[in-house]
């Protein structure tokens, strides 16, 4: 007698890709605006990016209902923090909060694949990448979502520093300028759109730097 399995799943995957790149004094966070279910498109105009704190932006792909719930929880916790500490949460602090929030639901997870981007307390760009249950790491760049397997190798190729084990020692990666990083993001989304059916329509690009937050859109293929 084999075990009976559920014929209904509480989860769905709404697709999409997210990317974040950290620079010396800026951070670029981007996500496409397509929301799909199965082989259907629900909307071409859905933002996966959430502005959690003054210098902290989150992009999430996966199950958007869980993403929305997660954004609400983090937003409420941030408001409480502001009342108690009379200041905005820093990006590394929000990163830890997100990790704890995700692990809180370890046995019924948020089906949400997140990248957090922002500026740390020194004004340098930082990117944190997560799995669905809160394991996180600070990195220079990351991608999540349906197009991430297509995007990550190209980001490695363009951004990764040479191995510290090499002899003679090679200089660490030359950091990209803000415009170069935005161009790189546009290139990767155009490429991912070609080969991933869940990525397309538009890409929303958010740039965080010392002068504040700036949002830009770029059209992608709609097929």
Partner 1 sequence: MTIFKHNGSAVVAMVGKNCFAIASDRRLGVQLQTIATDFQRISKIHDKLYIGLSGLATDSQTLYQRLVFRHKLYQLREELDMKPETFASLVSAMQYEKRFGPYFCQPVIAGLGDDDKPFICTMDAIGAKELAKDFVVAGTASESLYGACESMFKPDMEAEELFETISQALLSSVDRDCLSGWGGHVYVVTPTEVKERILKGRMD
Q: Which residues of 145-178 are buried (b: 16+ CB within 10 A; e: fewer)?
A: bbbbebbbeebeebbeeeeeeeeeeeeeeebbeb
Q: Which is nearer to partner 1, 81 or 154 (CB)?
A: 154
Give min distance, CB of 213 to partner 1, in A: 27
Q: Which residues of 115-127 are buried (b: 16+ CB within 10 A; e: fewer)?
A: bbbbbbeeeebbb
User: For 175, phi and psi rounded to 5 degrees?
Assistant: -70, 145
Give min distance, CB of 165 to partner 1, in A: 11
Q: Which is nearer to partner 1, 73 or 152 (CB)?
A: 152
Q: Which is nearer to partner 1, 1 or 166 (CB)?
A: 166
Structure-token match 């997660």, residue found: 70
Give min distance, CB of 188 to partner 1, in A: 6
Give min distance, CB of 160 to partner 1, in A: 9
Q: Which residues bind partner 1 (CB under 8 A)?
A: 147, 149-154, 156-157, 187-188, 191-192, 194-195
In whole angstroms, give the CA distance from residue 183 to residue 155. 12
Q: Which is nearer to partner 1, 86 or 157 (CB)?
A: 157
């Amino acid at each position: 007698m084999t075990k009976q399995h559920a014929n209904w799943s509480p989860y769905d995957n709404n697709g999409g890709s997210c990317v974040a790149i950290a620079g010396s004094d800026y951070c670029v966070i981007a996500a496409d605006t397509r929301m799909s279910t199965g082989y259907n498109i629900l909307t071409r105009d859905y933002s996966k990016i959430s502005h959690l704190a003054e210098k902290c932006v989150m992009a999430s792909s996966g199950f958007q209902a869980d993403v929305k719930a997660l954004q609400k929880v983090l937003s409420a916790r941030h408001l409480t923090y502001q009342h108690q500490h009379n200041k905005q949460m820093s990006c590394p602090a929000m990163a830890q909060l997100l990790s704890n929030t995700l692990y809180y639901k370890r046995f019924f997870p948020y089906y949400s694949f997140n990248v957090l981007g922002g500026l740390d307390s020194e004004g340098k760009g930082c990117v944190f990448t997560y799995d669905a249950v809160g394991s996180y790491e600070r990195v220079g760049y990351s991608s999540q979502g349906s197009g991430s397997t297509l995007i990550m190798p190209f980001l490695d190729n363009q951004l990764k520093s040479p191995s510290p084990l090499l002899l003679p020692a090679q200089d660490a990666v030359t950091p990209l300028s803000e415009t170069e990083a935005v161009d790189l993001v546009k290139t990767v989304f155009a490429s991912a759109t070609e080969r991933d059916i869940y990525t397309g329509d538009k890409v929303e690009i958010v740039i965080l730097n010392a002068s504040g937050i700036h949002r830009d859109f770029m059209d992608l293929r709609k097929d």
